[in-house]
A and B are shown apart, each in its own frame.
Chain A
Amino acid sequence: DAGVTQSPTHLIKTRGQQVTLRCSPKSGHDTVCWYQQALGQGPQFIFQYYEEEERQRGNFPDRFSGHQFPNYSSELNVNALLLGDSALYLCASSLDLIQETQYFGPGTRLLVL
């Protein structure tokens, strides 16, 4: 039973560039959440996708956008990268929209220079 997978594992970008991160949910899960974890902090909720729509959003600017595909996989896009966007980006999946337990992927470490 495949768990949550994310790609790439590491990424280095420069300020102003754009980045796309990818996530495949755990088998049987249809809901995906994205979190940003700055160094030394707990994860912060970015947004949630269900049925290919953004269902709720945390306190992040519009530079952060996403997408969910019919196979439930998801992408996180960040435009006009800032130094402060350097973080570990975590994807988590759950059985459905109101399922409380989320399972996390290994994350993508983004470094913005």
Chain B
Amino acid sequence: AQTVTQSQPEMSVQEAETVTLSCTYDTSENNYYLFWYKQPPSRQMILVIRQEAYKQQNATENRFSVNFQKAAKSFSLKISDSQLGDTAMYFCAFITFVGSQGNLIFGKGTKLSVKP
């Protein structure tokens, strides 16, 4: 079975500090893509960052970076210089393709609160 586990239901961080959200996943496929999505109270699911499993280099997007450990099936998200607008639910997800079929598998999310 393909699963995503986010072991931290809730986290909080002070504004301007750094926080790391954890994610582990399980798949028997070798080719897949990993994502972090952000869902603020407005409900819109926003893509934060993506990582191709075949790339060893960790992805970065401005203040957001990942630590991808393929052997350990770990994909953590680091948010630097946290801002109040980062307050949201964060979902880790991955997608694999078997033939032409693939769909996103999500974790249960981590609720991040950024405090002033």
A interface residues with partner B (beta carbon < 8 Å): 33, 35, 40-45, 48, 55-56, 58, 88, 90, 92, 97-98, 100-107, 109
Contacts and interface: CB of A to CB of B under 8 A. Distances in A.
B28 interface: no
23 contacts: A33-B103, A40-B108, A40-B109, A41-B108, A41-B109, A43-B45, A43-B91, A44-B106, A45-B104, A45-B105, A56-B101, A92-B45, A92-B104, A100-B95, A100-B102, A101-B33, A101-B35, A101-B47, A101-B50, A102-B95, A104-B46, A106-B42, A107-B43
B51 to A, nearest CB: 11
A35 B97 CA distance: 18
Nearest to B45: A104
Contacts, number: 61
Contact of B103 (A42, A58, A101, A109): A58
Nearest to B106: A42
